[in-house]
Structure 1
Amino acid sequence: MAELAHAFEAFKETNDARLAAIEGRAPGDVLTEEKLARIDAALDTARTRLDRLALDGRRPPLGQGAPAPRDAASVEHKAAFDLYVRAGESGGLKRLEEKALSAGSGPDGGYLVPAEVERMVLTRLANLSPIRSLATVRVISGGQYKRAVSVRDAVSGWVAETAPRPQTDTPLLSELTFPAMELYAMPAATQTLLDDAIVDLDSWLADEVETAFAEQESTAFVTGNGVSRPRGFLTYDLVANTAWVPGKIGTVATGVSGGFAAANPSDVLFDLVYALRAGYRQNATFVMNRRLQSTIRKFKDSDGNYLWQPPLAADRAATLMGFPVAEAEAMPNAGANSLSLAFGDFRRGYLVVDRAGLRVLRDPYSAKPYVLFYTTKRVGGGIQDFDAIKLLAFAA
């Protein structure tokens, strides 16, 4: 935290010197520009280290076991799964499925991991995947989640105590469908690791798949096309926010193709913030990648205060104009007509659907002497409230 705060103070001092030179019509100093770029990179590095330290502090050590399950069925499942992973013995898992009258898995489809491992993976994904951590998450048992939304609200109004009540129009409903798509990872282990009794294989499996799953999810929730993957919020139909209609995402233009206006570039950020209704704004978050964040760090308000501020604690986010900033590398760089900045209440605006169950298929043959673990989970996503998210379009 001290390193991050020191880097930001150096950044402000150097950028102020650069701006003073520009206002004095002095030629640009190459050394100042290079120094500013180095400090900017140091800010990103310090923030990345802080996020990693915070995440590692919540991660259980590899050699320690997970908390003991509470009921006998969980104890039996964990023991059977551990034997399957270490030695390939699937008899215990088969007996559990027969007892549960389940025919949804097996040697071809893999076996369900214990509930503790699934919770561990999902918790880590929420820490690593920026959109998942902001969105609403629903766990389902089927292949898709359906939700009815109102396209037109019910008509209402004031009326006197004894006046007649005319019949009003009924609300117009539409159905949104969120299918759960399959996501896979294939970590490998040596037999020596599997034979080591002190190694907690639950934590090992979660360690191996978390990054692969998080990277794929983070991209899909932003730019996914909805074909064999979730649909990202940047792929829906767009409309200028002044003409917003349900079913489309409202946009605010910067007025300059591929960039911000030369004069008062931060004004459009205020336009974007107030394009969102007050009910959504109180829980809103900015979403952008680190390159755009580097540009916005230089913006000031009319009093000369920087709009971007570093986090106040290790588990807090940086803020822009008082709102949290989520860094999503899947967001595009600023370019002609790009949608590089999003602002909204993602808890109400975006829905992530997880199908219950994380499956593992043990494969000791394909990459001998390593043992592969084909791990799959099913996840979907899409916009559930089109009025809760606004986009900044880098367009004239």
Structure 2
Amino acid sequence: MTTRTGITNAKWKGETQAQEESAPGFGQAEVVVNELTTYVDISNTLLADASQAEAEVRQALTEDFGAKEGLAFVKRSGDGQPEGVMTKAGIAETVSGHATQITADALVTQMYALPAMYRNAGTWAMNGTTLGLLRLLKDGGGRFLWQPSYQAGQPETILGRPVIELPDMPDVAGGAFPIIFGDWSGYRIVDRVSLSVLVNPYIRATEGITRIHATRRTGGRVIQPAKFRKLKIAAS
């Protein structure tokens, strides 16, 4: 996957002046594809007697895989997983100005610390508990920073930019990073295989058991850390 490692260097020139070359500011970044797998054994009697048994197993697998992927994309906890955006080195931070709380001033500072081209495409991300706290914050003029969506299909906003809920983001606490803001094109997710479910009625047939295998191949990586900024809960 192509990633930008620098910027080009365009210059104004006169009518008869020659153009100057920009050294290529691009490189290649590998997004490793990881595999998430499990299997479920279920009795043939249950499959025969409960018409929705297999559907329930598939639904449970879908929910489990979705939760595990979401956790890894936010804060990878080990090798063999996608890269977590919150554990990526090189993402700048803004401090909240309070040892245990979020401040309105810090959110404004965090947002405007990003270059305009990233800020204008930026989206806030936090968990539901943090979002609940932000809904109570006001600016110096008494206006709420959070604004509801007044149109179906449109997101709610904070300081005019959309906000999404990521359940695996940290809660607000001293030293924690509960909020990230940025242009999410800087994080790439690569899907090689959607959730694949294989029903194997043979491997434990003599025991009256059907085994249901599930596999998902996906990867994620921060391609451009400069497109993001985190909020740290700290006094200074």
Q: Which moved more, 1:177-186 or 1:216-225?
A: 177-186
Q: How large is the RMSD of aligned CA atoms in angstroms?
A: 2.9
Specify every segment of 5 or more residues in structure 1 that has no aligned partner in the other structure, as ranges. 1-146, 238-247
Percentage identity across paired residues of the two chains: 27
Alignment-derived partner of residue 349 in structure 1:
186
Q: What TM-score comes out, normalization by structure 1 length? A: 0.52
Q: What TM-score comes out, normalization by structure 2 length? A: 0.84
Residues 81-115 of structure 1, C-alpha deviations (whole Å, 9 max, x = no match): xxxxxxxxxxxxxxxxxxxxxxxxxxxxxxxxxxx
CA distance in 1, matches of 2:96, 2:167: 21
1:365-384 matches, within 5 Å, as 365=204, 369-384=208-223
Q: Which moved more, 1:309-318 or 1:209-218?
A: 309-318
User: CA distance change for structure 1 residues 345 and 204 in 2, over 3 Å: closer, same or farther?
Assistant: same
Alignment-derived partner of residue 91 in structure 2:
249
Which of 13, 21, 30 is 1:168 aligned to? 21
2:142 paired with 1:304: yes
SS of corresponding position for 1:177 = coil
Task: For residue 221 of structure 1, report the CA deviation from its aligned partner.
Answer: 0.3
Task: For residue 235 of structure 1, report the CA deviation from its aligned partner.
Answer: 1.0
Residues 310-343 of structure 1, C-alpha deviations (whole Å, 9 max, x = no match): 4446755433223222111211112232111011
Alignment-derived partner of residue 153 in structure 1:
7
SS of corresponding position for 2:198 = strand
Amino acid at match of 1:356: V
Task: For residue 293 of structure 1, report the CA deviation from its aligned partner.
Answer: 1.7
Residues 63-85 of structure 1, C-alpha deviations (whole Å, 9 max, x = no match): xxxxxxxxxxxxxxxxxxxxxxx
Whether the 8 Å CA contact 2:189–2:220 is kept in 1: the answer is yes
Whether the 8 Å CA contact 1:297–1:306 is kept in 2: the answer is yes
If you compute each CA radius of gyration, which structure gives the higher value, 1 or 2? Answer: 1
User: CA distance change for structure 1 residues 252 and 213 in 2, over 3 Å: closer, same or farther?
Assistant: same
Task: For residue 190 of structure 1, report the CA deviation from its aligned partner.
Answer: 4.3
2:46 paired with 1:209: no
Whether the 8 Å CA contact 2:126–2:166 is kept in 1: the answer is yes
Alignment-derived partner of residue 227 in structure 2:
388
Task: For residue 210 of structure 1, report the CA deviation from its aligned partner.
Answer: 1.4
* Structure with more of its chain in strand, by fraction: 2
Amino acid at match of 2:171: N
SS of corresponding position for 1:251 = strand
Task: For residue 307 of structure 1, report the CA deviation from its aligned partner.
Answer: 1.9
2:157 paired with 1:319: yes
- Count of residues in Structure 1 that have an aligned counterpart in Structure 2: 232
Whether the 8 Å CA contact 2:36–2:215 is kept in 1: the answer is yes
CA distance in 1, matches of 2:120, 2:9: 27
Amino acid at match of 1:337: G
Amino acid at match of 1:173: F
CA distance in 2, matches of 1:231, 1:273: 24
Amino acid at match of 1:184: T
CA distance in 2, matches of 1:249, 1:293: 22
* Structure with more of its chain in helix, by fraction: 1
Amino acid at match of 2:96: T
Alignment-derived partner of residue 79 in structure 2:
227
Task: For residue 176 of structure 1, report the CA deviation from its aligned partner.
Answer: 1.3
Alignment-derived partner of residue 333 in structure 1:
171
SS of corresponding position for 2:3 = strand
CA distance in 2, matches of 1:257, 1:309: 26
Task: For residue 353 of structure 1, report the CA deviation from its aligned partner.
Answer: 1.1
2:17 paired with 1:179: no
CA distance in 2, matches of 1:252, 1:339: 10
Amino acid at match of 1:210: T
CA distance in 2, matches of 1:218, 1:336: 24
Whether the 8 Å CA contact 2:179–2:230 is kept in 1: the answer is yes
Task: For residue 193 of structure 1, report the CA deviation from its aligned partner.
Answer: 6.0
SS of corresponding position for 2:66 = helix
Task: For residue 229 of structure 1, report the CA deviation from its aligned partner.
Answer: 0.6
SS of corresponding position for 1:360 = strand
CA distance in 2, matches of 1:153, 1:315: 36
SS of corresponding position for 2:99 = coil
CA distance in 1, matches of 2:183, 2:29: 19
User: CA distance change for structure 1 residues 315 and 200 in 2, over 3 Å: closer, same or farther?
Assistant: farther
